[in-house]
Amino acid sequence: MAELVLDPPLALTSRLAAALRRGGARLWIGAALVAILVLVALFAPLIAPHDPVEQDLMSAQLPPAFVQGGEAAYPLGTDSLGRCVLSRLIYSARIAVVVALIAATLAALIGIALGLFAGSFAGWVDQAISRLIDVWMAFPPVLLSIVLAAVIGAGLTSVIAAIVVVDWTRFARVVRAETMVQLKRDYAAAARVIGLTRSATLRLEILPNLVPLLVTLLAVEMGIAILVEVILSFVGISVAGDTATWGSMIAEGRQIVYQAPWIMALPIGCIITSVIGLNLLGDGLRLALDPVQRR
């Protein structure tokens, strides 16, 4: 009997290197932007030059330091109450990161569970969950969030709850469809033929195949969570009072946009950079993890 010989071995490091190469520039840029966001949020007290709520009415509406009339003590200027814009931007990142992580993860867990359930049970279970998703998605999400915040009160918890309640459908829909596709594949039939139960098949065979997709979706969802938090804090139903958030900074800056445009422009820049960073990271990870792209 002829023996078959394997190709020369691929070292683990070269596998990793190949994955990183497939991810390309998106992976690097995305990872760098997200890393900066997370580090800034983690070390906010160390980086920020001032207390974000400390008011200095004598130096209100100062322009950034590099513009004429700016002061070195306030690198990005001050707002109408004389609070340091840079420090407020830095502390806002904390809210953004917390909301992105917790809300997106919870939405993913609920959505994945229901999606797997619907995708693996044909018939009325699938019908019930799918119709629920359809009806759910017919509600405008921001309106639903506002109603929710009004019912359970403003605050970080209600922001997160609002995002989870609205966005689990995004995961459920995709996971349901992909589960159905994967279950039609030969390897899923093979798993049944070796006597695996339905739940073991889903856990061992199907879920690992969904990972590249879920990673992308999770990253995109984190971006969306940040945007929703911005919207809610812009209309003033997010975290209370003078806590710095990008949304509340935009709301404040809007009123004096002709006198001090940087107060509104800077948080918008932060939001755009964060969301782009998350989207690029998700895209890069999908390319790096996708088994079809391997080789």
**Binding region for another protein (CB under 8 A):** 1-7, 9-10, 122, 185-187, 189-197, 200, 204-205, 208-209, 211, 291-292, 294-295
In this structure, the number of other CB atoms found within 10 A of the CB of residue 206 comes to 23
Q: Is 237 helix (H, G, I), strand (E, B) or coil?
A: coil
Burial annotation 137-153 (CB, 10 A radius, 16+ → b, else e): eeeebeeebbebbeeee
Q: How far is the CB of 167 from another protein (least distance, A)?
A: 26
| Residue number with CB closer to another protein (1 or 46) | 1
Q: How far is the CB of 242 from another protein (least distance, A)?
A: 49
Q: How far is the CB of 9 from another protein (least distance, A)?
A: 6
In this structure, the number of other CB atoms found within 10 A of the CB of residue 269 comes to 13
Q: How far is the CB of 295 from another protein (least distance, A)?
A: 6
Q: Give a three-class secondary structure readout of 97-138.
A: HHHHHHHHHHHHHHHHHHHHHHHHCCCHHHHHHHHHHHHHHH
- The DSSP call for residue 202 is I
Residue 186 neighbours by CB under 8 Å, 6+ apart: none
Q: Nearest-CA neighbor of 276 among 23, 33, 27, 24?
A: 33
Q: How far is the CB of 152 from another protein (least distance, A)?
A: 40
| Residue number with CB closer to another protein (102 or 211) | 211
Q: How far is the CB of 172 from another protein (least distance, A)?
A: 22
Bridge partners, 84 (sequence order): 78
Report d(CA 246, CA 249) in Å as an integer: 5
The pair of three-digit structure tokens given for residue 43, joined into one six-digit string: 């070390």
Q: How far is the CB of 111 from another protein (least distance, A)?
A: 20
| Residue number with CB closer to another protein (69 or 208) | 208
The pair of three-digit structure tokens given for residue 102, joined into one six-digit string: 């917790």
| Residue number with CB closer to another protein (198 or 254) | 198
Q: How far is the CB of 22 from another protein (least distance, A)?
A: 13
| Residue number with CB closer to another protein (140 or 208) | 208
Q: Which amino acid is at 5?
A: V
| Residue number with CB closer to another protein (39 or 204) | 204
Which pairs from 258-261 meet CB under 8 Å and 24+ separation?
Answer: 259/61, 260/61, 260/63, 260/77, 260/79, 260/80
| Residue number with CB closer to another protein (131 or 294) | 294
| Residue number with CB closer to another protein (58 or 184) | 184
